[in-house]
Each structure stands twice: as C-alpha cells, then as structure tokens.
Amino acid sequence: MKAGVILFKGGQVATEDSPQLKKLDVLVEDGKIAQVAADLPIPEGAEVVDCVGCVLAPAMFDMHVHAREPGREDQETIATCSEAAINGGVTGLVLMPNTLPTIDSGGLLQSVLDIAAEKSRIPIWQAGCITKGREGKELAGIAGMKGKGAPLLTDGGDSIADAMVLLRAMEYAKRFDLMLALHCETKELSGKGAMNEGQVSYRLGIPGIPACSEEICISRDIRLAQYTGARLHIQHLSSAEGVATIRRFKEAGVRVTCEVAPHHLLFTEEQIGDYDTRYKTNPPLRTAADNEALLQALAEGWIDVIASSHAPHTEFEKNSDFGSAPFGITGLDTAVVSLYHHFVKTGVFGWDVLVKRYSAEPRRLCQVEPVPIEVGGAAEFLVFDPNRKTWFSKKFMQSKSSNTPFLDQELDGQIISVMKDGEFLLNR
Amino acid sequence: MAETDIKSRKDLLDIESLSLAEIEYLLKTAGPFKELFRRSVKKVPTLRGKTVLTLFYEPSTRTRTSFEVAANRLSADVTNFAVSTSAVVKGESILDTIETLQAMRTDYIVIRHGASGVPALIAKHTKASVLNAGDGFHAHPTQALLDAFTVREVFPETQKKKILIVGDILHSRVARSTSRIMRKLGMEVGVLGPGSLVPKGRPDFMNAFWNWEDALAWKPDVIYLLRVQMERQEQQFFPSLAEYHRVYGLTSERFKQVEGEGLYLMHPGPVNRGVEIVDEAMTYERCLINQQVENGIATRMAALYWLKPEEDQG
C-alpha cells in the first residue's frame, strides 16, 4: 500500500454553500486533498475507503467549550475533552477561561496551551478573560494573552455588570483586534433563578430567569459595541426576544455575531419534568416558541455559529436538588449526530447549515482557515453514515462527564471516521 | 377503617400527582381517625413496629409535632433526626444523609427542606415512604389535605364553591398545593395579593384580583389568608407591613363585611396578628384555624396509613 494515499470512494460531499450533496470521490495525498471528482480511478497502492451512502463533511470547530483544566479535572480534562471532540467530528476547540485559576494573563494562557500540546490530538485555542478573575472590575492582561494567541476574550458564564468596565474593555480590545464573546444576563433579573421563568417554574417552585434578563443585556452590550466599534459576539442565545434584538441591530448594520447551542434548539423547560437536573443550564431552556424562533433565525442566517457550550459536571454534582445542582450540559460527543437526527434527517435544514455554522463560520470568526473539501485544501473532514445509529452510552462518550439528556439514547447517524491532515483520528 | 380499594403509593410528594379518587380516599380515611380523638384511648395499632423519622431542615414546631402526634396515634415509633437548621444546608450533603437513613432502615421519612424538589430526590433514592412536609416554594401536600378536609366539614359538596387565597402567591408552597387540591375538588380559586407577589407564571385556573373590593364582589365562600413572611418586606416586595395590612390585610372594616356575609376564614398558621389578620377575626365563629390544626393530625394519620414503603408493597 502506498503510504498517505487514501481514496474516499462513493460518498456525497457537503459544502457550506448548498443543501445539495455532490456525489464525489475524494483523494487524499500527503495530508492534502489532491483530487475531488466523480468516479476517480483508484491509484495504484492507495487505501480505499468505501463511502457509499455516506456524507463527507468538513470537520467541525467548536468555539465554546469548557474543558475544566486547570482546576476541575474531576469534571473534564483537556485530554478527555479533545477526545470527546474527535468522537463528535470536531477538530478544533476554543476553550473558555473560567477555570481554576481563571485564565487572565499571557502566562496562564501559555500554561494551558502547553498541556494541550502534550495531551490533545487536535489544535486547541484558549480564550482569555476580559477582567481579572472574571470579577467584572479590572481589565485582565489583554496584550499578553493576545501575544499567546487568544482568539477572543470572554468572561464566559458571567456578564459584566458594570457598563463602564465593558465599554473600556471594548475600546481596549478593539486595538488588538480581539473579539469579545459575551454571556448576556442581567444579574439583578436572573437573581437566584435556576430555570426559565413561567408556569413550569411556578409549578416546581423554582425561582425563574425571565427571557428579558437575556434580551436587556444583549441590547445594552450591542449598543456599547455600536458606540465603540468593537467586535462583539453574543454567546449561547436562548430566547426569541434575544435573537430578534440581534436581528434588528444586524439589519441596522451593526457588527455583531452570535451563536446558539444545540440544546437551545432541541429542548424546552417542559423537559425538566420533575426536577431533571440534566436539563439545568444557563441561559435556561425556554419554550417551544423560543426554539422555533432560534431555529428559524439559524436557517435564515441571522445566527452565525453553532457552538456546543460543552459544560461537563460530575454525576455527584448533578445528582442534587435542582436549585443546588450546577448549570450545564455536555455537547461535544453529541452535537453533530443530534443535529442530524432532529433537523437534517427531517429536512428542517440541510448539511450546508451544519457545515457553515459549525465548521466554516466559527473558524472565520476565530481567524482560522475553514477546511472545505476542495483540491489543495487540508484533508480535515468527517465521514458520516446516515444508515448507522449512535447509542450514547457512557462508554461511547469520551467526555469525562455525561450530563446530557442524550445519555442512553439512540439516534440516527454515526460519525464513522474523522480525518485530519491525512491521518485517521477516528475510524470506527 | 376505610376499604383499601385505592392502591397504596410509596410517597406523598405533591398534590398534582394525586388523582381525585386518591384525594377522596385520603379525606374519607381521615374521618374515622378524627372520631378517634373523642375517645379516651386515641391510639390504633396500625403501624406498630414501624418507624417514622422526621427530618426538618427548616424549623417548624407545629408541622413536626402534628406528624409526631399522628405517627404516635398509629403506634409507630417516632424519631427526630436532628439536622442543622442554622446554616443553609447544601443539596450535596443530602445524598450522604440518604445513605445514613437507608442504613437505619426506617419505614417512613417525613421531610421538610428549604429547597424545592429535595423530598422527590430522597424518595428516588430510598425504599422508605417519603412524606413531603414542605419543600421550598414547591409543595406542602399534607397542608392541602387538611385544608380540603376542613373545607369539606363545612361544605360537604365542594363543587362550584369558591376559595379566595390572599397574600404571597409567589413564594408560598401552601398556595400552590392548597389551590390545586381545591381545584381538583371542583372549587373555583381566586387569588389576591400585591402585584409583586402574584406572578405571571401562576396556573390558568387562578383568578387574580388586585384589591379586596373586586375579590369580595366575586363572592368567595372561604377566605384563606397566607402568613406574611417578614423577610419579604426586607426584599421590597411591598413597601411596609403597615401598608400591607392596609391594602391586603383583613382589616377590621373588611372583617365586618366577611362576618356580615358569613364567609369562612382559614390560615395555615402561625398568624401575624395585625398584619394579614386583625385580632377580632381570630375569635369569629367561622374562623376555622383551630379546626385546621386538629384536622392536620387526622389527615396526616390517613397519609401514613395509606402510604406503603417499597418493602411492604404487594
């Protein structure tokens, strides 16, 4: 066999531009895509991968991930997190800086990158904090973190309550061409809330978080970005009001991007049922009408990015009363298959949405080259078999935690291999 | 005792999950227990050899005593598990507590906790029957049962009768459970309280009123006053206790109207005289507060009688 020459034969190639899949063979040589064409002849000595019935899609990129290292290695490590990513067809991660300690200086950021270089089979980018210790008071060491390659700044998980602090951060970060990724929540309104405010929260006697808590903060933060000219990215949208506000500002020409997590498209507050803490996340799961609005905005292109908000927690922590249990749902192992099962297979949107929003756009936002399946490009794609199924057992999932509603569920479709630079990171 | 045509449950966690037939069965079962109190020997041997553990993470002398008396009268052995009520007890420690309880092989656990859903969590992890004696803002099912029993004593036919619940609808587990049981018994439910304490997320069956005039014009048969939690005032849900009394309390003037129309008065206790209720209302002959206390024991006996720990399930 000729080393490094692999022909993916008979599959259908997905692109970000069209929902139509194209029946093309893909020849990989020396880590690059050498040829893409229908019915390619098999080069002598090449390894042939039978892709009949399968979809070849550019590998995904997740710009919102909590790897918990350093500090909470009982929940997740960079090693397990990156393996969960590969398991889910993701070959690039941006890690959130809300670790212990928080990543708020160039030195700390470098220490995470050093771990990643040793432990991860995929490239890792580490985001930096906006403020020291995520306290919302003093600016973090922004220039130092930029110097170590921070793709964005975020106080992830917390909004910056003081508008003046945020305004200064925007003005400062702008000169380093750093995007600010913001979690939008008006703390005074969300208070001790643990789920969406409404009839379900009333029935369960759990303090609620109203949708306006998100929308008011989004509106404030976009106005500040408009005023300062900063690059702003709104994280994990959850409400119809929130996405409507972003749309309104986008139509007015303001430079703002946003993301949605699969769980905010798939689940509602109703599924909390009798205190199922697997559905406890912040921002909270809201109503079917909110899911519908988010889904429509995603299909129409108002939402730029899909990101998992992968937030691992131990079984012990989640096995607590609803108010005390931590917020968060894991997502790296499950994102592609769950979105395929619920939306692509059912025709709600095509593979183009998945490729554009979970592969190409997040890379562009983080100033990383997209990886379309094109001649001359990097061989960085996944092979997806719609005719197989995935059983999300604890054993299957590579994340150290399995706090996801998909635990022990079987969904249609399976990622059968993940290729990066000519090497199989995964081959089932 | 009453016939056992209604299958026992393991736990009593809320009112919502009870069927009308189960509620009727519990109310019917409580009747003979109450009659027992008139006898010189008030005890029956039903739960002889069984153990009841009371576990109160929030201080409550009244409810705990009521459960203890109920269990004693059924001949059960009652133990009070002393838990720290001073500090906020985090949910994490609960799972460890459950392990301890499981090892004690108690048959019934009566629990009150400041966090909604804790009794359900315990019920899931233990073979003992769990009786929710109040959890967070969520539920207080035995209070609802005793309230329903009390209403049935004055109105044997509850269909279309009206109950007006007055006060903090937002934070009250009593409002949640009692409104639901009355609704299940065919009553109409009205609520009255400050706008900041009557939430948008209330169930559709609650008719909301914002002043006494409108509420009394709705012609309620029973007025159920909730206890004002003093700390709410500090959180600025309303400006002052004096203003609360003036606008939402049962003042002397309103009490005269209530008395004139012969409406019944209820309260889960303990009352704040001069805040939600004036003194003179306490001695009104249609004030059912003391009856509620007595009925609490009978209905809690009915609940203990009906529930079956997992090991005793046929």
* Out of A198, A208, A275, closest to residue B117 by CB: A275
Contact A313, A324 (CB under 8 A): no
Which residues of B are less than 8 Å from A325 in CB distance? 91
Specify the pLDDT at position A1: 44
Contact B201 A197 (CB under 8 A): yes
Residues A308 and A60: their CA atoms lie apart, in Å, by: 11
Contact A120, A425 (CB under 8 A): no
Which residues of A are less than 8 Å from B200 in CB distance? 197-198
Residue range(s) of every CATH 3.20.20.140 domain in chain A: 60-365
Q: Any idea which residue has 């080259």 for tokens?
A: A369
Distance from CA of A406 to the nearest CA of B (A): 21
A200 touches chain B (CB under 8 A): yes
For residues A68 and B80, which has the higher predicted lDDT (pLDDT)? A68
* Out of B90, B117, B202, closest to residue A202 by CB: B202
Q: Mean pLDDT check: name the lowest of A32-36, A158-162, A176-180, B200-204.
A: A158-162
Q: pLDDT digit string (tens) for B96-154?
A: 778 887 888 899 999 999 999 999 999 998 999 999 999 999 999 999 999 999 999 99
ipTM here: 0.92
B203 touches chain A (CB under 8 A): yes
Distance from CA of A208 to the nearest CA of B (A): 9
Phi/psi-derived region of residue B7, left when phi > 0, alpha when psi is between -120 and 50, beta in every other case: beta
Q: Any idea which residue has 């209530």 for tokens?
A: B258
Residue of A nearest to B199 (CA): A202
Residue of A nearest to B204 (CA): A199
3.90.700.10, 3.40.50.620, 3.40.50.10380, 3.20.20.140: CATH of A60-365: 3.20.20.140
Contact A150, A124 (CB under 8 A): no
Do the strands B51-56 and B264-266 form a parallel or antiparallel pair, or are they unpaired? unpaired
Strand-pair partners of A380: A420
Say which CATH architecture domain A5-56+375-427 belongs to. Answer: Roll (2.30)
**Sheet hosting strand B77-81, strand order edge to edge:** B77-81, B51-56, B108-113, B129-135
* CB neighbour class for A213 (10 Å; exposed up to 12, middle 13-18, buried from 19): buried
Return the H-helix or E-strand segment holding A226.
helix A211-228
Distance from CA of A211 to the nearest CA of B (A): 13
How crowded is residue B69: how many other Cβ atoms within 10 Å of its Cβ? 17
Residues A126 and A151: their CA atoms lie apart, in Å, by: 7
Distance from CA of A274 to the nearest CA of B (A): 8
Amino acid at the residue B268: P
Strand-pair partners of A26: A8, A36
Taking all residues of chain B, what is their mean pLDDT, rounded to a whole number? 92
Q: pLDDT digit string (tens) for B251-281?
A: 999 999 999 999 999 999 999 999 999 999 9
B138 Cβ contact partners less than 8 Å away, ≥ 6 residues apart: A204, A205, A206, B14, B116, B117, B173, B176
B274 touches chain A (CB under 8 A): no
Residue range(s) of every CATH 2.30.40.10 domain in chain A: 5-56+375-427
Distance from CA of B173 to the nearest CA of A (A): 7
**Structural domains of chain B in order of their starting residue, each with its CATH number:** 20-139+294-312 (3.40.50.1370), 142-293 (3.40.50.1370)
Q: pLDDT digit string (tens) for A233-260?
A: 999 999 999 999 999 999 999 999 999 9
Specify the pLDDT at position B1: 45
Q: Between A and B, how many CB-CB pairs are < 8 A?
A: 73
